[in-house]
Amino acid sequence: MLHHQSQLVCHECDALLQVAHADPGQKLVCPRCGCTLYKPRRDSINRGLALSLTALILFVPANFLPIMTFNMLGLNNADTMVKGATQLFRQGYWWMAALVFFCSILAPLLEFVLITGICLLVKLNRYNAPLVFMLKIQSHVNRWGMLEVFMLGILVAYIKMIDLGEIQLGLGMACFTGLLAVTTLNAILFDTHPIWEKVGQARARLSDR
């Protein structure tokens, strides 16, 4: 949804419409094509802050504790998310290791930190340049977090290896599952639209002075 002064453009039919206000529980609908333009979330800031703090708590055990332990012929091998990336690097696949590290570790961590900072600034009523910078960075970073892809990879590896030896799922797997659930909820519940509106109102007040 693109904004231009007091108007917005429908992302489906490109109709130019006047901006209207919608409260939580309501939604803005395009009168031409009927698609949903915007649907406000309830208590987005508090929920986003709570979920991001929960994700930060789960982040360390999810990445550093064993996800699964594989036992074959008396040999045990415990795998973690960080260990997977370092092994790829040691085997010469540095580009793949960098991609795995960024998408599964760095990008999610950066997004959790950014959302926490955004929510704290909003609660402090600081609609300033640092908030705008964090909002812009967060909008780019959230496209790179791919925890669900790595969860799918873990499940595929588990199914393929289950007949080759004894596999035990570790505490890291439980934490990683919780981290994925929290990340998904945050993507659904956290809403930056009203924050951008408040930023625009703050800038308008400054320009009127």
Within this chain, do residues 184 and 87 fall inside the same structural domain, yes or no? Answer: yes
Residue of 178, 154, 180 lying closest to 167 (CA atoms): 154
pLDDT at 165: 66
Sign of CA dihedral 124, 59, 111, 39: negative
pLDDT at 70 over 70: yes
Using the 8-state DSSP alphabet, how is residue 177 labeled?
A: H
Residue 121's pLDDT is 95
How far does the chain reach from its first CA to its final CA, in angstroms? 30
Number of domains in the chain: 2
* Residue 153 tokens, joined: 């990879």
* Residue 27 and residue 112 in one domain: no
* CB of 93 closer than 8 Å to CB of 86: no
Task: Name the band, by pLDDT with cuts 50, 70 and 90, for residue 3.
Answer: very low
Structural domain contains residue 203: no
pLDDT score of 2: 40
Task: Tell me the residue range of the domain where 11 lies.
Answer: 1-40
In the block, which residue shows the tokens 């873990």? 154
H-helix or E-strand containing 61?
helix 44-64
- Say if residue 145's pLDDT is above 50: yes
Give me the pLDDT at residue 120, please: 96
Is 201 domain-assigned?
no
- Residues 144 and 177 grouped into a single domain: yes
For 116, the token pair is 């926490």
208 has pLDDT over 70: no
Whether residue 28 sits in one domain with residue 58: no
- For Cα atoms 76, 100, 139, give the angle at the middle one, nearest 5 degrees: 140
Same domain for 66 and 35: no
Each residue of 76-130: pLDDT tens digit? 667 788 887 888 888 888 888 888 888 888 999 999 999 999 999 999 999 889 9
Q: Give the integer Cα–Cα distance in Å for 21 and 8.
A: 12
| Claim to verify: residue 91 and residue 12 sit in the same structural domain | no
Residue 181 confidence (pLDDT) above 60: yes
Q: Is residue 22 part of a domain?
A: yes
pLDDT at 131 over 50: yes
Q: Residue 99: which residues within 8 A CB-CB, separation 6 or more?
A: none
Could you count the other beta carbons within 10 Å of the beta carbon of residue 20? Answer: 12
Residues 161 and 155: their CA atoms lie apart, in Å, by 10
The pTM (predicted TM-score) of the whole model is 0.79
Looking up residue 152, the CATH number of its domain turns out to be 1.20.140
Residue 186 has pLDDT above 70, yes or no: yes
144/103 same-domain check: yes
> Looking at the structure, do residues 60 and 24 belong to the same domain, yes or no?
no
